[in-house]
Amino acid sequence: MLNWIRWNRTLVISFLVGALLVGGGAYTFKAIESANSTAAYALTVEEVLSCETETCVISAIASADGKDLTGLLDELSKQTKPLNLQPNSLTASGGLCGIAGKEIGRKIAANMAPGEASKIISEITLTVTEQESVVAYPCQLGFVTGIGETLGASVGTEKIQAGVAALCPDQTQGATSDRISYDVKDTLCSRAAGVMTVFASPNSYTWQTSVDGCNGVSESNVVPCLNAAAAELRTVATEPRIELADCVESKRPGFCELIVASIKVSPEGETLAASDNPLQSFESICKTATSLEACRHGYIIGIVPTVENIDVCGKMGSLSTLCEDVVLTRTASVYLRISNKRGEGINIMCLSLPVKTRERCDKIVDGILDYRYENGLV
C-alpha cells in the first residue's frame, strides 16, 4: 500500500483535494463555470479539430477568444485524436495538440513575466490525451513550450538564471536528497524553463545560456531542465553550438557532458549503429570530457536512443551490458516523466526484451524513483 501511494502521490493528493471541494459545495460552482466556458470556445475547438495543416491550427488559435485559453487547452486534450490517427501534415509538425498547445502558450505568455507564468503552469489541468503513449500530455507539453519560447525572447541572456528561478520557484529549494522530482507539473515547468533558456539567445542558441539558466534551480532539478533545453535545441538548431567546455559551470557537470556527447554523436548515430564498431567515434567526441563515464553514457544514448534500438548494444563488446542499462534507465525515466503510467505500468517497456535483459529492466524500473543522476545514467 505504501509503495502504491509513493508511485501515485499526485493522484492521492488530487483525490483528497477533490473531496474537500465537493464537501464545501465548490463542485457545483465549478461545473457551472466550466459549462459556460465550454460554450464560449466550442466553435474554436470544432475549428481546430477539423484542421489538417499546421497553418489551419495556428489561424484557429489566433482568432480564439483569449478569456479562457487554458479551458480551450483542456477541451482539446479531451477531444484530440491520438497521434497515429492524425494526418501526416499535422504529425510532421508535432501533432494537433503540440501545435495548438504551443500557440495557446505563446498567446497566454505575451506580456507576461516568468513569475506570472509560474502560476499558470501550476494550475494546468492534467487531462490525458494519449492513454497508451509515452507522451500522455502532448497538449500540455506544447503549451509550456509556447510559454518558454515567448518568455525567453523577453528575458534575454543576462536575466535567464533569475527567470528560470522565478518560473519554477518550487524547484529552487534545496532538497533533502538529490533525487529529481517526477511530478508531472514539475516536468512541465522544467520543460518551459529549458525552452526559455534556448530562446533567451535568439538566432545563436548557445548551450552556455542553457547551462547558466538551468543553474537557477536547485542541483537536484538541473537534470530535467538541461534535458528540456537539449530537446528544444535539437529541434530549432541545425548545428547547435554546444561543447563539453560549456559544462564547467553547471551544477550537474557530469550530466551536462552526457547531454553534449549525445548531441554531438547524433548526426552520425544511425551510421555508427549500422557499423560493426559503433564505438569508433568515442575517443574523438569524449577526449576532452571531465567525466569519461558521463560522456560514454551520452555517446551511447546518441547511438541507441530508445529500447527499440537496444540490439545495437550487442555490438559494443565489454560495454554491451552497460549500454543496455543506460538505455533502459533513460527510457524508464522518460516514461515516468511524461506518461500517465506509474509503478508496474512502466514495466510494459520490458515485455518484448530477452529474458536476461528483461530481468534487469524490471529491476531498473522498480528502482527508478531512487535514481540519483550524478555522473551519467547508471
Q: Is the pLDDT reported for residue 11 higher than 80?
A: no
Considering only CA atoms, which of 107, 94, 86 is closest in space to residue 235? 94
| Residues 193, 48: Cα–Cα separation, whole Å | 27
Residue 174: the pLDDT is 65
Q: Cβ of 250: how many Cβ atoms within 10 Å?
A: 22
Contact predicate 201/209, CB 8 Å: yes
Helix (H, G, I), strand (E, B) or coil at 206: strand
Name the residue with higher pLDDT: 36 or 204. Answer: 204
CA 58, 59, 63, 68: dihedral to nearest 10 degrees? -20
Question: Over pLDDT 90: what percentage of the chain?
Answer: 61
Angle at 187 between CA 331 and CA 321, to 5 degrees: 20
Out of 82-91, 105-114, 199-208, 340-349, least confident range? 340-349
Name the residue with higher pLDDT: 19 or 98. Answer: 98
| Residues 343, 222: Cα–Cα separation, whole Å | 24
Residue 24: the pLDDT is 44
Mean pLDDT of the chain: 85
Contact predicate 261/298, CB 8 Å: yes
Name the residue with higher pLDDT: 276 or 183. Answer: 276
Give the H/E segment covering residue 163.
helix 160-167
Considering only CA atoms, which of 150, 165, 71 is closest in space to residue 109? 150
CB neighbour list of residue 145: distance below 8 Å, 6 or more residues apart: 98, 101, 102, 105, 191, 192, 195, 232
Q: Which pTM does this prediction carry?
A: 0.86
pLDDT tens-digit series, residues 206-261: 899 999 999 999 988 999 999 999 999 988 887 788 999 999 999 999 999 999 99
| Residues 268, 250: Cα–Cα separation, whole Å | 27
Out of 38-42, 67-71, 139-143, 245-249, least confident range? 38-42
Question: Over pLDDT 70: what percentage of the chain?
Answer: 87
CA separation (Å) from 17 to 10, 23, 26, 133, 137?
11, 10, 11, 27, 22
Out of 85-89, 100-104, 210-214, 334-338, least confident range? 334-338
Decide: residue 84, CB within 10 A, 0-12 exposed, 13-18 middle, 19+ buried: exposed
Q: Is the pLDDT reported for residue 373 higher than 90?
A: no
